[in-house]
Structure 1
């Protein structure tokens, strides 16, 4: 039974688990003194006959804060498979009245979590996927890219809003609200405003917002060199009809002799210098080609 438990829990065990498995305190202490069981924190041990993986590290950090501790933030995101790399510091959420201090390698958040926002996954309590995405997207190392990826593959916007509203007083809530607003159907206009601000700050002139081309309006048009810029909101998705309409629209603009540059919310928020540089190159190339003709 002990081997089965350790195999399914990354080699990490607590004194409570050991008692349930019939291991006395004396036997536990002997294992610890021998060095075979390495103490991670008070009452938490790692059986040192296997690699100390990221899973073991996160599990030990969470269990070190007691039975009501929950992995949250980027630690929960990694546990759910939302992110590729485990964070160096494990975020742990505990009830407000919990005792104990932060252990090395962990960061503690104190608040009451609604039962709906806690799940057990692979034998560890973690924030539910929706709350995990909402929170992790506001952490350094998460950001809009994390939410964008999750919206494309794992979650829908409605449940993300619901998780956010159930936990409005938490750390990072205002930033979460802004990201969720950016992912709504009206996000395209917000992304357009960001693009226009970038153009103004860069001192780029000669553009017209909502410029008509081939019977359609492009987000930003440079009529002097026939460059059209389109920008999509965070996690831009379309159904089949919208997809085909969008492609038909873009093809018509290209056939009218315009070059189309397409950017996303992620581009204009995370990589603004790259966006401006690409726009400058397109304008310069098209203007040079026109002058040569």
Structure 2
């Protein structure tokens, strides 16, 4: 029973779990003193006969804050398979009345979550998929691409809005709302208008909107410097056929001698200075 438990739990075990499989606290302490088990935090241990994987690190971090804790943010996103790389810092959400503090490698969020926003996956408590997507997408290392992928492969927009409205006061809520608004339709035309506004505010001239290049209509063209700019909606507005057509179009424009720049709605809203600096660099380099 012990070996099976350790195999399922990435080599991590709590004192309560050890007792359930017949080990006393004294027996656990002997294993720690002998070096066979490593104490990760109070009541949480790692059996040091295997690699301390990312899964073990996240599991130990979450269990270290008690049975009511849950992985959240990018840690939850990785645990649920939304991202390829585990975050260096494990975000753990605990109830407001919890006394847990930040530890090295951990960041604590205190809030009381509804049961709808919590699930158990591979024997670890984590935030449910909609809330995980909302929170991870606005963390450094997440981004709109994470939400794109989730909407393409895992869930639809209404559950995201529902989870957002149920947790409006959370960290990163305004940024998540902007992403949801971008997904709600009409984002591409809004982005085009915003881009034109940014160009005018920066005093950039020499461009025309909706011009044809190599037989394709391009959102913005700087003919004198041969720079073509496309404004993209978020990826979940497009299916695989749209993606394929966009690449054919982009290749044709490039073969016509144009440098192609692409910006998303999120680029324009969150990083307008960077967008303008990129446009200036491209148009002045030719």
Q: Normalised by the size of structure 2, how large is the TM-score?
A: 0.83
Structure 2: runs of 5 or more not aligned: none
Show the counterpart of 1:103.
103
Q: For this pair of structures, how many residues does the alignment match?
A: 276
Show the counterpart of 1:116.
116
Counterpart selection for 1:272 from 268, 271, 275: 275
Alpha-carbon deviation of 1:114? 1.3
Does the 8 Å contact 1:228/1:259 carry over to 2? yes
Q: Report the Cα distance in structure 2 between the residues aligned to 1:100 and 1:226, rounded to whole angstroms.
A: 58
Alpha-carbon deviation of 1:22? 0.9
Q: Report the Cα distance in structure 2 between the residues aligned to 1:117 and 1:228, rounded to whole angstroms.
A: 44
SS of equivalent residue, structure 2 residue 56? helix
Q: Report the Cα distance in structure 2 between the residues aligned to 1:186 and 1:262, rounded to whole angstroms.
A: 21
When the two chains are superposed, the root-mean-square deviation of aligned CA atoms in Å is: 3.2
Alpha-carbon deviation of 1:201? 5.3
SS of equivalent residue, structure 2 residue 109? strand
Larger radius of gyration: 1
The alignment status of 1:145 with 2:142, answered yes or no, reads: no
Q: Report the Cα distance in structure 1 between the residues aligned to 2:192 and 2:130, rounded to whole angstroms.
A: 27
Q: Report the Cα distance in structure 2 between the residues aligned to 1:14 and 1:236, rounded to whole angstroms.
A: 41
Q: How does 1:1-293 map to 2 (within 5 A)?
A: 1-200=1-200, 202-209=202-209, 211=210, 219-222=219-222, 229-238=229-238, 243=242, 261=260, 263-265=262-264, 268=268, 272=275, 275-276=278-279, 280=283, 284=286
Q: CA 1:236–1:129 in 2, change beyond 3 Å: closer, same or farther?
A: closer
Deviations 1:158-207 (A, max 9, x none): 22111111111111111110111122212113322442244335543122
Q: Report the Cα distance in structure 1 between the residues aligned to 2:157 and 2:257, rounded to whole angstroms.
A: 34
Deviations 1:20-44 (A, max 9, x none): 1111111111111111111000000
Does the 8 Å contact 1:45/1:60 carry over to 2? yes
Does the 8 Å contact 1:119/1:126 carry over to 2? yes
Relative to structure 2, which stretch is displaced further, 119-128 or 219-228? Answer: 219-228
SS of equivalent residue, structure 1 residue 220? strand
Alpha-carbon deviation of 1:262? 6.4
Deviations 1:196-231 (A, max 9, x none): 24433554312244x4759x9854355778866431
Deviations 1:116-156 (A, max 9, x none): 11111111011111111100111122122322332333332
SS of equivalent residue, structure 2 residue 235? coil
Deviations 1:44-64 (A, max 9, x none): 000000011111110000000
Relative to structure 2, which stretch is displaced further, 197-206 or 117-126? Answer: 197-206
Does the 8 Å contact 1:93/1:110 carry over to 2? yes
Relative to structure 2, which stretch is displaced further, 143-152 or 26-35? Answer: 143-152
SS of equivalent residue, structure 1 residue 263? strand
Does the 8 Å contact 2:61/2:106 carry over to 1? yes
Q: Report the Cα distance in structure 1 between the residues aligned to 2:231 and 2:259, rounded to whole angstroms.
A: 11
Q: Report the Cα distance in structure 2 between the residues aligned to 1:141 and 1:32, rounded to whole angstroms.
A: 36
Q: Report the Cα distance in structure 1 between the residues aligned to 2:228 and 2:141, rounded to whole angstroms.
A: 32
SS of equivalent residue, structure 2 residue 125? strand
